[in-house]
Amino acid sequence: MSELEEIVPFLSKTARLDLKAVALSVVLGLTGSVDGIKLLLQQEVILSNVLDLADDESEPIAKDAVLCFVNISAEEKGAQAIVDKLSSRLVPTAYRAILDDNSKLADPWCMVLCNISRPESLVETVVKELMAIEFSIEKLTTCFTRVNYNKHKGHLNYLGPLFSNISQCAVGREVFCNKTTGLLRRILPFVHHEASIVRRGGAVGLLKNVCFDSTVHEWLLSEEMDVLPFILLPLAGPEEFDDETNDKLPMELQYLGPDKKREEDPDIRKMLVESLAQLCATRKARVYLRERGTYEILRELHKYECSDLGDKSVLAAVENVVDILIRTEEEIGEDNLKTLEIPDDVKSKIETLDNKAEL
């Protein structure tokens, strides 16, 4: 029997509290290193027992148990093992804790769900487990949009990246684009949420992923959703435009004044620009973007990204969109760019250019 196997009896709700605490501290310590996690992944019984302890009546025990899963799921192999072996139990447990406005462990459970849904190979399984719970994503959205939902000052910011992860798969995007529930519309304002970069980045990631589906572009740009101001406003700076240009811009972007600040995080700026790139797929959307001053906002953003404050990968993304917007529809010659068949040799060249841009 290995040393790890010897502590299994003490990783039980019925074990004596002091022994339980010592055994759990051993597990938590192992989760602090890659080698330790690798060792734990070979012990399915230990992982199962630790999940039991996440509901322990002792708060310190429950907290350490959840933190074990935060650390393990941060490694992709750990996330894979958790999803493969425990998702049917873990996802509902995490969901109940997040929904409980009295839970002191809602935030770490948000992190666990965020971690295990990040890899594209795992997200569909996690979404399937969530969808097995009636209205789960709708209720999580309510928790997210009520900023002070948790009574113990749990921020629930990591629900943002969770929503972004969920929208990596088609089923997840369908849930957020449901016109009846209006989930996307409720989350959109958090694209501008200054208090938390995690929450803000999650909302932007969700918006970007939804934009990948050209079948919803018309709806996204409709008066009902009107996503363009949510994308352009963080990209705009204090630059002044003449009256003619201001008249083209959405009302939210007109006459912003000298105090207007751009989104500071380059990753978020890049996701916003990539959202525009996806919207450029269809002729109708391209025309809409041109008519509402998108090029003018990107022109000023381009100057910013060329400065010392800018970012090369964002600059490359801006140039990709500008290259489309400055061309006429006759030059583009396609109604939907997503239907184009791109030869393999051209694809490899594009990927090479993209990789260089990120260096």
Q: Residue 262 belongs to what H/E stretch?
A: none
Predicted local confidence at residue 125, as pLDDT: 98
- Residue 1, H or E segment: none
Query: Between the CA of residue 190 and those of 1, 5, 130, 136, 167, what are the distances in Å?
Result: 52, 46, 23, 20, 16
CA distance 327 to 30: 57
Q: Are 276 and 289 in contact (CB under 8 A)?
A: yes
The confidence score (pLDDT) of residue 336 equals 66
CA dihedral 343, 349, 351, 355 (to 10 degrees): 180
Q: How far apart are CA 351 and CA 359, in angstroms?
A: 13
DSSP state of 242: -
Q: What is the pLDDT of residue 342?
A: 41
| CA pair distance 9, 331, nearest whole angstrom | 71
Inter-CA distances, 128 with 47, 78, 92, 117, 305, Å: 21, 19, 11, 11, 40
pLDDT of the residue at 346: 40
- Quick one: residue 293, left, alpha or beta (phi over 0 = left, psi -120 to 50 = alpha)? left
In order, the DSSP letters of 114-136 are: HHHHSSHHHHHHHHHHHHTSTTH
Lookup: tokens for 254: 């007109």
What does the pLDDT profile of the chain (359 residues) look like in tens digits? 477 889 999 999 999 999 999 999 999 999 999 999 999 999 999 999 999 999 999 999 999 999 999 999 999 999 999 999 999 999 999 999 999 999 999 999 999 999 999 999 999 999 999 999 999 999 999 999 998 999 999 999 999 999 999 999 999 999 999 999 999 999 999 999 999 999 999 999 999 999 999 999 999 999 999 999 999 999 999 999 999 999 999 999 999 989 999 999 999 999 999 999 999 999 999 999 999 999 999 999 999 999 999 999 999 999 999 999 998 877 776 766 655 444 455 445 434 545 554 55
User: Which pTM was predicted?
Assistant: 0.91
Residue 2: DSSP 8-state: -
The CB density around residue 115, as the number of other CB atoms within 10 Å, is: 25
